[in-house]
Amino acid sequence: MSSEENKSAAEWGPMRSFGRIKSRKLKPQQANLFETLLPQIEASDAHVTEALDSGRELWLEIGFGGGEHLAAQAAKNPQVTFIGCEPFLNGVGSALRHIDEVGLENVLILANDARPLLDRLPPASLNRIFILFADPWPKARHNKRRFVQPETVAAFARVLKAGGAVRFATDWANYADWALERFLACPDFEWPAQGQADWNAPPADHVTTRYETKGLGDCRPVFFDFIRR
């Protein structure tokens, strides 16, 4: 692996993989949850260390949108601690509402870019990573803003336990090809798919969100599960 691929997110500089961080005024309930709930479940160093020391499985969702998938997975897997990262504040507000309504106690939230968190996590600390319908940055000149890059794939390999998995989903054909190329170029990952049904059909444990059903991309949803060797 080249020295370029070994760089941390901080060393790679201000690559911004997301657009605006706020679109409209937060609803009163969401604004209140930012003040009351978020400080209790913020993915601070102390809270993340506590989660790591608990011995529970740790799953990470990068760019959770409105938090529907994050909350549903957390409700279905109470034995797992989830960390959700999302820089879009309206999405964070939506996720906080879901967490509050269900009374989830196994979720930590980082209202920011996930890359600094990846840099801080110790090796082999995560069991699963989800990157679902991330911003595709479809124009060629913007491809460098895509979250899946050689350096982030290398970061995933570092923080995942052996046998851990990254699930990548998109409804943009070019981003699917892009992600597949970069994960397969990393010797730490294998792709166990045997046929088209393995990536065209939603996995059994997938949670469909409202954003996914909008079909804003240029192809049917594609699901890749990459396994850490």
| Residues identified as active-site | 135
CA 160 to chain centre: 13
